[in-house]
Every structure is written in C-alpha cells, then in structure tokens.
Amino acid sequence: MAIDDILHGITTLVSSRVQDKLFSGTGFFYDKLSEERFGPNKDWSSIDMTWVVTNRHILIPPVDNQETIPDKFTFHLRRIINDIVEWEPVELDRSELIKRARVSQNSDVDIAIVQINDIIEERIKVGVEEKKKYMVTFAVRKDDLPGISPLGIEVTHDAVIVGYPRGFYDNFNKYPIVKSGIIASGWGLKFDNKPYFLIDAKLFPGSSGSLVISKPTNIALINGQLSYSREKQYAFLGIFSGAPFYQEDPIDLDDITIIRKLGFDIGVVWYGHLIEEIIKNGATLG
C-alpha cells in the first residue's frame, strides 16, 4: 500500500460542541490487535479495538476554566458519492461519549481516546447493503512504536505531522496537510519531567491532536546493517498537543491591559506509548 494512501486515510477531522461553543482539531485512528496470529506465515491478526485519538483539551474542552464533557463529539469517515469524496460525520452524544471515552489518570497528559470499532463495522455493513462506498480507514498500532518498530529514533531526526492546521486541508479529496520538522529534545526523555518531547516545527491551531511519525523511508540502518523495504515504513512517535510560549509582563494602558505572547516555533508531542497505558488503565469520563 502506498504511503500516500496510508497517511491520507489515517486521520480525521474531530470536534466537540459545548452549547454554542465548537472546539475543532485533528484525530487519528489507532488499532489494538489480537495477540493471536494466523495465516500461512502467522503474520495476520484480528482487530480487537479501534479508537479515535485526539487531545484531551479537544475531547473535554475547558469552558470557564473547567473541563467539560461536550454535548456532542464528532469524527468523520470518508465516503465516495457520485465519484466525489465526502465527509460523513459520526456524532456521539454526551451519554455515548461517557461510555466510550478514556483519558489518562494523569490530567496533565493531553491525550484522549474514544472506542469506535463497532461504529465503523456497522457503517461498513450498512454501506454494503445500501451500496455506499466508504474509503479504507488505516490506523497506527503498537507495532509502529519505536522500540517495537525496527526504525531507530533520536534527536534531530525528521518528524512528520499529519493534520488539519486551522481547518485547512484538501477539501476536494478530503486529505490532510503533511508538515515536517525535527525532533528538538532528547528522544525518550521526559521534557521538564513530563512524558512528551519537542519538535521544531511551525504549526497552528487545528493541528491539535495531529499524528506525529518519523519520516517514511524504505532504506534504514537496522542493527548495524543497511536494510531495504519494498514499501516505505515509519515509526509512530506521538500526538501533537500545542506550542509553548513566553508571556511578557503586562502593559497597562488607559482602559486595557496588553500581554504579549511570544512563541518559539516549537511543538509539544506526547509519546505514543501513552495510548496503550490509557487503554489499559485510563480513566472514564463518568
């Protein structure tokens, strides 16, 4: 499968609505595979669960400085209607979201997941009966994590960010924007003792929740040996969360106060392995 198709089918637009306020960002799909392998070479696994992953601040946005379970959470699937690619929104109300969503026990971790495998299966089943053509949905999984994936990762390596900055994307094909940067802090270390690393990349609102992977390649040095793959491979690095900034001292004028915020063109990326921890030990919203 071409890397273009994989990257285009792995992400989705997501949003949460709290009364009249809409919080939008990026999500991507994550599969949890069965431990049981089958097939001639034992290289097939069934999918136990599929989750849509985004940021905690998108799923339960802060309203009046208080995390709030939204009235509605929406992600999207791609359908082809009359040879045109269309978004099909999938809406979950508050009660359904409470049943399906999990977040980290550590409220600082800006990751949230929502179980959706049964929803996708039902949509595809109904789509076959009604002759609706859904585009293939791809997902990252545990095997793509560094340490399991054979691709080595370290500071200064290229990073690729896949998402919808400021809601901008290829509206005709419904494809996300792919941006690039480099890993800007010690790989595997907790930056400021939090489980994230930094990337050097200029990103924008709406990129929150974006998938971050290593630059796809089919040539790599693995165990000291130059190796080749027929199809390009990548390692799943993490989930983009936002950009830190420096806040200057307030400037008081006659009737207003000005506070300048200066960015560093640096982004925060929470480590991908945190998703597995949330699946196993995450907190529900209820």
**Each residue's pLDDT tens digit, 117-176:** 999 999 888 766 666 788 888 999 999 999 888 888 999 999 999 999 888 899 999 999
Could you tell me if residue 22 is inside a domain? yes
pLDDT at 44 over 90: no
Return the pLDDT at 5: 84
Could you tell me if residue 220 is inside a domain? yes
Say which residue, 285 or 204, is predicted with more confidence: 285
**Each residue's pLDDT tens digit, 216-271:** 988 877 777 888 888 888 999 999 998 875 555 666 666 676 655 556 689 999 99
Could you tell me if residue 286 is inside a domain? no
Half-sphere exposure of 112 (CA within 13 A, CB side): 27
Could you tell me if residue 272 is inside a domain? yes
Contact 77, 90 (CB under 8 A): yes
**Each residue's pLDDT tens digit, 75-117:** 999 998 888 999 999 999 999 999 999 999 999 999 999 999 9
Return the pLDDT at 257: 60
Q: What is the pTM of this model?
A: 0.90
Could you tell me if residue 176 is inside a domain? yes
Q: The CATH number of the domain where 136 resides is what?
A: 2.40.10.120
Could you tell me if residue 255 is inside a domain? yes
Could you tell me if residue 130 is inside a domain? yes
Q: Which domain holds residue 160?
A: 3-281
If we measure between CA atoms, which residue out of 208, 16, 209, 20 comes closest to residue 94?
Answer: 16
**Per the structure, how many domains does the chain have?**
1
Instruction: In whole angstroms, give the CA distance from residue 232 to residue 5.
Output: 12
Could you tell me if residue 81 is inside a domain? yes
Amino acid type, 119: I
Return the pLDDT at 126: 76
